[in-house]
A and B are shown apart, each in its own frame.
Chain A
Amino acid sequence: MVNEKKQEALIEIKDLKLEYGGKKDSILALDKINLQIKPGEFLCVLGPSGCGKSTLLKTIAGYLQPTSGNCLMQGKVIEGPDWHRGVVFQSPTLYPWMTVKDNVEFGPRMRNLPADEIKKIRTYFLEQVKLTGFGDKATFELSGGMKQRVALARVLANYPQVILMDEPFGALDALTRDNMQTLIRDIWKENNSTIFFITHDVDEALALGTRVLVMSKRPGKIIKEFDVDFTHTIAENNSKDVMYKEDFFEIKKEILKLINSQIEE
């Protein structure tokens, strides 16, 4: 852990440019992205829809290769997906032919860990997402929020160095989303995780992130960064009161103005 902290950035993106499609009708999705993700950060990304937030996540995950520029993890070029970067999708991609338990164990199994360790990991993370006792259930018996918790546990089971989340709570109802935010904050603090989190909800970004990025419309660039601390305050006070204070509204207003200016143009 000490070593990781010394290395300044876990993920480093330099002059990233990404184009979709063929030579003639290519679409420039991302341009001039420079970004560092430091260990322990909770980075939230906001932006108008279609701005390339998901494209950025897919590039970091290794699903897409940059047209130019670099995407590095611990100094090494990201060449493809691997288990050090866990991904939680907007709609949980649990495998319905496996039980909840088998879904959570999938990563450790693929890495050929010993059986007793796999069991320990599964028990631990099912407890962490508060689903102890649901191990033998079929995934399609679970509610939307529970499914997303299993998807989270499945990613956590690999102890990834960074967790990439693409609007993971976007499809959930408001109350469930609220619970999930508390859960992910607690897990982030307890596990000392690094999280890259895409959302379209300004409140969610401010309530969770230690840093909030705002992206422009296509081609997506990072137009502003905000260092925020509401998430620590919420965790310490165990209350969301801070979200009703003046300084929270100030930042929220500024971000909304930025995003709206992108849509109107």
Chain B
Amino acid sequence: MNFFKTNGSKLSTNMHKFIANQKGKPKIITLEKEGKKNKVDKRLTVLTWVVILLAWYLVTKLGLFSATLVPSPQRVWITFLKILKNGYNGVSIWVHLGASFQRLFFAVGLAVITAIPLGLLSGYFTRIEAVIDSIVEFYRPLPPLAYYTLLVLWFGIDNKSKVILLFLAAFAPIYLACVSAVRKINEDYILSAKSLGANQKNIFFKIVLPACLPEIFTGIRTAFGVSYTTLVSAEMVAATSGIGWMVLDASNFLKSDVIFVGILIMGITGIIIDAGLRLLEKKLIFWKGHV
């Protein structure tokens, strides 16, 4: 678990906030209180970033470090606009981002399609778990880049090796979430459904699947977080396109302003993806916390 914790720490703190918000929902008084608390929290967040930006500005203004190593905020901003307009090395930023996201979404999609049925089945039948679980447990703690070199040798430097890498990274958290979700399901849900006349198929689709959805969704969010970090590192090891590659290429030419822009874009897109997933979760799993 440690490996994921370090990678997904941002995710998990967001999750706690989300759960806390959900719990406060039924009572209006706590909601109001929480609203006030949230306002203070938000101000603190904004303040933190203002301080960081100010420190950055002052450090560069006073010339404490060489401008080649730490570019000023203004220069990063100008570079950002330039990259937005002209792209990097003649290739549009959207092409780089598109290349990265295509890999990411395709791999996570593949993991969702395979890990959910396999995970649910493993939770149901110990014999299926006996086959899959040991494999997952073996490769899960490995740093993805350790076997990435092997994947590049086998599948080439292009998309295929990266998609397989990301698929493996995304598979484990979704699979494990499904297994644990099935284990934790309230047995009375299934018993009562049987007593109401539901057959096995209906029990699976109308009871087990929705009952597991909250945990599955948490697994998917973790999978996105893990895959995204893996993607960027993979692109920095071996690639010819993508946002990670852009940063690597810029570092070769000591273009620190481009590196800064690349990192900012990665951070912001990561936040946007997670926010999108959280929104989707709120819509789809409106009963979360009430199971």
A residues with CB within 8 A of B:
61-63, 80-83, 85-87, 89, 91, 93, 95-97, 106-107, 110-111, 138-140, 154-155, 158
Contacts and interface: CB of A to CB of B under 8 A. Distances in A.
Contacts of A93: 186, 188-189, 191-192
A97 B196 contact: no
B287 A96 contact: yes
Nearest to B25: A140
Contacts of A63: 191, 194
A72 to B, nearest CB: 18
Contacts of A110: 193, 196-199, 202
Given A63-B191, A89-B192, A95-B210, A158 B286 contact: no
22 contacts: A62-B195, A80-B194, A81-B194, A83-B195, A86-B195, A87-B192, A93-B186, A95-B189, A95-B207, A95-B211, A96-B287, A96-B290, A106-B198, A107-B196, A107-B197, A110-B199, A138-B286, A138-B290, A139-B290, A140-B287, A154-B196, A158-B197
Contacts of B191: 61, 63, 81, 87, 93
B287 A138 contact: yes
B21 to A, nearest CB: 15
Interface residues of B, number: 23
B291 interface: yes
Nearest to B288: A96
B234 to A, nearest CB: 37
B189 A140 contact: no
A151 B31 CA distance: 29
Contacts of B198: 106, 110
A119 B206 CA distance: 19
Given A93-B186, A95-B189, A97-B210, A82 B290 contact: no
A139 B188 CA distance: 16
Nearest to B286: A138
Interface string B176-193: 000000000010110111
Interface string B63-104: 000000000000000000000000000000000000000000
Nearest to A58: B191
A227 B195 CA distance: 29
Contact of A158 (B196, B199, B206, B213): B196
Contacts of B193: 106, 110
A83 B197 CA distance: 5
Contact of A89 (B188, B211, B286, B287): B188
